[in-house]
Structure 1
């Protein structure tokens, strides 16, 4: 079913540990009282480059260099967070980097990519343009392509989140994980289920992804070509899970999926800003919204301790979504 195991995650952990901090786990007694369970927020928004993505990017680059094959540079397509992560990781490993990103990506993310020393190539804001532009640039530069999610080395790196989380909070009963193509969700699912088989893995999505219908059917029911859904959570707007992440999540994730619309995402972001004093982006807001949801409130009372992945904090504070009338 899969070519990734807990052993790969442990190797990734030791590979990236010298470069990256252990992110904190935040709690809020106010949030717990409002929503009826004990919640633990894994603050990946405080990770290097402002998101979890650096874990997978760094693991993938170091593995490339360990292979013994010459690596001229690395390239990828990204809506921002993976691009920043790859740019930072490449700089640490002494490699050149080019990132293809949609022209509507928040400026803060583009500036950060360039700030880490990478070059940026803009493309149209759809998955097909991203992939075609990246293929062209990869051929022109001779760089190695490092995907954002759908790669076992990326998943292994993201799985290190669960190693830390269950070490910090071993009594977790469930984890809420925002998903785009699903690299983080798959990595966390493999790791958490290996360490604690009864833990529940819930995927969080923006409205329009329609993942629950696919999981229940056991089929990829999404249209082709892949689309972006209409959401303020730009980091999770790709509609389809990856081809490698799909079978992992089909097997390990719960069939119930938490869906957040723009208003709910903003409500989650605002709570984090105002009450927890942390800056989070829309994808993280979706995870907070899932924790706030009636669906979770109505679930089995045996789910007492819930982990919430605050996957990133790269939001443009000059363009906050509630100021734009969305």
Structure 2
């Protein structure tokens, strides 16, 4: 496992342990058919300026243009629609989220005609809270800690019987996220590498499984914020973060690409493509970059404020 540390982000390569995955390309293709009526096939974009800066060909998968504003709609729709298939009389679904997954599950539940509750931490941007409510879901606030999110979600599930749609620790969600790679590699089949911003790992897992099934020579590189310690945990095969888990303090300026606003996590993948990937492995020539979302709180953009007077 190779590793590059920029002081802002970490980029590392995933190595297969040759153990069978709990889902594969078959399940990703089935997910694609299942969700096709609910999500967009997002475009793959190019930028001559960024190609020049990176010294390689970059292909940007624009999930910021996806339904609900992020890739999360794919996994949420697959998991929620499967819940409806398995339990036609399902009492609904519940999830916890910092915002994007919550919007996605609320949207998926509306598509499936199921009741939905979304647990979000106090302080979640208002724009995300409003979107969750607009999709028809019940919004429940909890303390801003991973433990509180899990406990509140479990309590609602226990009381209502609603199925928990975990943001990333769910194979149906992972298979749905893998449809990103399905589309990307159908359009650019000879990619050498794919850069994936990583948080919980659901998108990275889905993309890694789909990529291995479609193009085994294409490497998948997770991009993590500095301080996350994921690569070092995988390398040492032991947990290195505190217990109970805490959210890391990470700041990344919003980045404009192709005249679009993307989330800071997408900006990290762009930064890695331009500045860091050659430090990890033999320099790839053709690189896919996942622009994972575009849900930005406009009140906190560095170049814009609603309070500005004109």
Q: TM-score surpassing 0.5?
A: yes
> Where is the helix percentage greater, Structure 1 or Structure 2?
1
CA contact (8 A) 1:103 1:125 kept: yes
1:209 to 223, 228, 243: 228
Kindly state the Cα deviation for residue 215 of structure 1 after the two structures are TM-superposed.
2.2
For residues 147 and 202 of structure 2, what CA distance do their matches in structure 1 show?
A: 19
Look up the SS of the partner of 2:299 in the other structure: coil
1:239-258 equivalent positions in 2, closer than 5 A: none
Deviates further, 127-136 or 213-222:
213-222
2:115 to 96, 111, 121: 96
Look up the SS of the partner of 1:279 in the other structure: strand
For residues 187 and 83 of structure 2, what CA distance do their matches in structure 1 show?
A: 30
1:70-219 equivalent positions in 2, closer than 5 A: 70-219=89-238
Gaps of 5+ in 2: 1-18, 306-310
CA contact (8 A) 1:12 1:160 kept: yes
TM-score under structure 1 normalisation?
0.84
2:35 to 4, 9, 16: 16
CA contact (8 A) 1:20 1:48 kept: yes
Kindly state the Cα deviation for residue 279 of structure 1 after the two structures are TM-superposed.
1.3
For residues 171 and 237 of structure 2, what CA distance do their matches in structure 1 show?
A: 22
Kindly state the Cα deviation for residue 172 of structure 1 after the two structures are TM-superposed.
0.8
1:21-40, CA deviations, whole angstroms, 9 ceiling, x for partnerless residues? 20001110001111211111
For residues 292 and 35 of structure 1, what CA distance do their matches in structure 2 show?
A: 4
Q: Which residue of structure 2 aligns with residue 36 of structure 1?
A: 55
Q: Which residue of structure 2 aligns with residue 304 of structure 1?
A: 285
Q: Which residue of structure 2 aligns with residue 316 of structure 1?
A: 297
Kindly state the Cα deviation for residue 313 of structure 1 after the two structures are TM-superposed.
0.4
Kindly state the Cα deviation for residue 297 of structure 1 after the two structures are TM-superposed.
3.7
Q: Which residue of structure 2 aligns with residue 247 of structure 1?
A: none
Kindly state the Cα deviation for residue 298 of structure 1 after the two structures are TM-superposed.
4.0
Greater relative CO, 1 or 2 (CA 8 Å, sep 6+) = 2
For residues 125 and 26 of structure 2, what CA distance do their matches in structure 1 show?
A: 36
1:68-122, CA deviations, whole angstroms, 9 ceiling, x for partnerless residues? 4531111100000010000001011111111000111111111110111111111
For residues 11 and 313 of structure 1, what CA distance do their matches in structure 2 show?
A: 27
Look up the SS of the partner of 1:203 in the other structure: strand
Equivalent residue pairs, number: 286
Kindly state the Cα deviation for residue 302 of structure 1 after the two structures are TM-superposed.
5.0
CA contact (8 A) 1:35 1:297 kept: no
Gaps of 5+ in 1: 232-261
TM-score under structure 2 normalisation?
0.88
Look up the SS of the partner of 1:39 in the other structure: strand
Look up the SS of the partner of 1:318 in the other structure: helix
Q: Which residue of structure 2 aligns with residue 281 of structure 1?
A: 263
